[in-house]
Every structure is written in C-alpha cells, then in structure tokens.
C-alpha cells in the first residue's frame, strides 16, 4: 500500500488538512490581529482541502476494489 502513488497523494492531502486545521486552531487560541484577518479564510481552505482529501481516499478505495493491487 505504501508503494501506491494514489495512497501517498491521499496521505499527503490528509497532512495538508491537518496542517491547515492546526494553523487555524493555533490562530484562534492566540487571538489578536492574525485571527481576525485569517480565521475564516483558513477554515475555508480547510474545507476545500478536506473535500479533496476525501475524494482522493474514495478514489483510492475504488481503484483498490477494482483490482488495482
């Protein structure tokens, strides 16, 4: 499974989602000017990245069930 490029791309997409989420939560916890300027934008980016990650995971599962491995 670790040799499958689609798995690696899906795992990378999950990492991107986690990074954006932690950045948003960190900004929220710190508060201040950064949070006021970027909180909503970061959460919108997270939602888009999460949708991409879910689509990649579903594609991975679909192709594995079709006999890709």
> In terms of domains, do 44 and 26 share one?
no
Domain enclosing residue 15, as ranges? 1-30
What SS3 string covers 9-67?
Answer: HHHHHHHHHHHHHHHHHHHHHHCHHHHHHHHHHHHHHHHHHHHHHHHHHHHHHHHHHHH
Q: Do 27 and 38 meet the contact criterion of CB atoms below 8 Å apart?
A: yes
Q: What is the pTM of this model?
A: 0.84
Name the pLDDT band for 68 (thresholds 50, 70, 90): low
> In terms of domains, do 26 and 1 share one?
yes
pLDDT score of 59 more than 90: yes
Number of domains in the chain: 2
What b/e sequence results for 3-22 when a residue is b if at least 16 CB atoms lie within 10 Å of its CB, and e otherwise? eeebbeebbebbebbeebbe
pLDDT score of 1 more than 80: no
pLDDT digits (tens, 9 = 90+) for 12-45: 999 999 999 999 999 999 888 988 898 999 999 9
Name the pLDDT band for 69 (thresholds 50, 70, 90): low
């Amino acid at each position: 499974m670790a040799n499958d490029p689609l798995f690696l791309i899906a795992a990378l997409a999950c990492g991107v989602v986690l990074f954006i989420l932690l950045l948003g939560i960190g900004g929220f916890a710190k508060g201040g000017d950064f949070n006021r300027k970027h909180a909503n934008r970061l959460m919108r980016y997270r939602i888009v990245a999460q949708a991409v990650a879910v689509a990649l995971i579903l594609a991975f599962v679909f192709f594995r069930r079709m006999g890709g491995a």
